[in-house]
Structure 1
C-alpha cells in the first residue's frame, strides 16, 4: 500500500519526487518533506516513469490520467502536477 498523499490531490498541485528504479518493490516514502518513489521497473522507454505515475495516482486517490509529468522525463528528479 503506497503512502497516503490525498492531502496533495488538489488541481494544480505540483509534486516533486526522487525516483529509484529497479527497486525490490514499489513504494512511496516521505522523508524530510521529500517524496521518494521506488519502482521495480527499469528506466528505459519511460517504463519507470509510467510506474511512478500509476503509484502516485493511487497514493493521491485520483485517476492516473490526472497525474501529468511536467519536468524530468529522463531524470531521477521529476515533477508531476495534478490536473482536473
Structure 2
C-alpha cells in the first residue's frame, strides 16, 4: 500500500503518527524528534510508520519526497 504523509521533524511530540482526514494532501502526519539533517528525520519516519502499522522497518520505503516534508511511502505487509 502507498500513502502520502506529512512529516514534522524536530517535534517534541514524536515519535507519533496521527491520521489527518481533514488534510487533502496527506492521510497521516508523522511527528519525529530527529532533525532534518543527513537523513535522520527519514530514518525516524520509517521507524514511526513501521511501528504504527506493526511491520518491520525493512517493509517501509520512502518512494518520493526524501528531501520534502510531504512524502509518498510504500508499506508492504500492512
- When normalised by structure 2's length, the TM-score is 0.86
Range moving further from structure 2, 43-52 or 28-37: 28-37
Query: SS at 2:17's partner residue?
Result: strand
String of CA shifts for 1:30-80, please: whole Å, max 9, x gaps.
Answer: 121620000110001110011010010011010000001100010000011
Counting matched residue pairs gives 72
Unaligned runs of 5+ in 1: 1-12
Q: State whether structure 2 residue 67 is matched by structure 1 residue 74.
A: yes
Stretches of 4+ aligned residues off by more than 2 angstroms: none
Q: Which residue of 2 aligns with 1:54?
A: 47
TM-score by length of 1: 0.80
Q: Distance in 2 between matches of 1:28 and 1:59?
A: 7
What is the CA RMSD across the aligned residues, in angstroms? 1.2
Runs of 5+ unmatched residues, structure 2: none
How far apart are the structure 1 equivalents of 2:8 and 2:31?
5
Q: Which stretch shifts more, 31-40 or 65-74?
A: 31-40
CA distance in 2, matches of 1:52, 1:42: 11
What is the rounded CA distance, in whole Å, between the counterparts of 1:83 and 1:31 in structure 2? 21
Is 1:16 aligned to residue 9 of structure 2? no
